[in-house]
């Protein structure tokens, strides 16, 4: 049994990178869903030794064709709160971030995609999905789309709390 668990763990490791996550601690990442998809699940775990988070995302079908996508500029300074909403009728299809040890925080950019005929409506913010230093998995509810992100940082915990803007597609 130990040999099987070791092999499973070894398969999930390539050149020191844990393949269950899109980043390693203290490392940048750039994640973008495949064409015609948007983010459907966000998972994250915090580590007090590194004062950073690992991230993972899943994507799901969103558009009936090839959307137009753009990457935002950085939406926050280190240790600063932010509220970001994808412009117009676009929804979130990716995220990019880098960590700085001096601040023990990340700066964030977001990929937003949209296309003609796709309109979002009935948007509302979720509650905060985590406490400081807590792992979380956030699932975008059925018939909803991720359209924004809000977060604030606390130096005492060197971590962030997160909430998400969800919208439905206009029929």
- Per-residue pLDDT, 1: 54
- Taking Cα atoms as reference points, which of 65, 45, 67 lies closest to residue 55? 45
- Residue 81 has what pLDDT? 98
pLDDT at 8: 43
pTM value is: 0.89
DSSP structural state of residue 64:
S
pLDDT at 171: 74
CA distance 86 to 72: 9
Q: What is the pLDDT of residue 16?
A: 53
pLDDT-flagged residues of the chain (< 50): 4-14
Q: Name the nearest CA neighbour of 168 among 120, 115, 114, 127.
A: 120
**Structure confidence at residue 20 (pLDDT):** 83
The Cα diameter of the chain in Å comes to 53
Give the residue carrying structure tokens 């980043």: 23
């Amino acid at each position: 049994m130990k040999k099987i668990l070791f092999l499973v763990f070894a398969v999930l490791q390539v050149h020191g990178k844990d393949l269950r996550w899109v980043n390693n601690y203290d490392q940048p990442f750039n994640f973008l869903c495949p064409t015609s998809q948007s983010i459907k699940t966000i998972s994250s775990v915090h580590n007090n030794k590194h004062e950073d988070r690992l991230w993972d995302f899943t994507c799901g079908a969103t558009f009936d064709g090839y959307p137009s996508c753009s990457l935002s500029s950085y939406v926050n300074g280190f240790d600063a709160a932010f509220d970001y909403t994808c412009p117009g009728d676009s929804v979130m299809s990716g995220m990019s971030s880098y960590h700085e040890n001096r601040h023990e925080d990340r700066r964030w950019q977001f990929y937003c995609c949209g296309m003609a005929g796709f309109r979002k409506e009935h948007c509302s913010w979720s509650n905060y999905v985590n406490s400081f230093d807590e792992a979380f998995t956030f699932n975008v509810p059925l018939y909803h789309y991720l359209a924004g992100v809000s977060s604030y940082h606390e130096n005492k915990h060197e971590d962030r709390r997160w909430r998400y803007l969800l919208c439905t597609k206009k029929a």
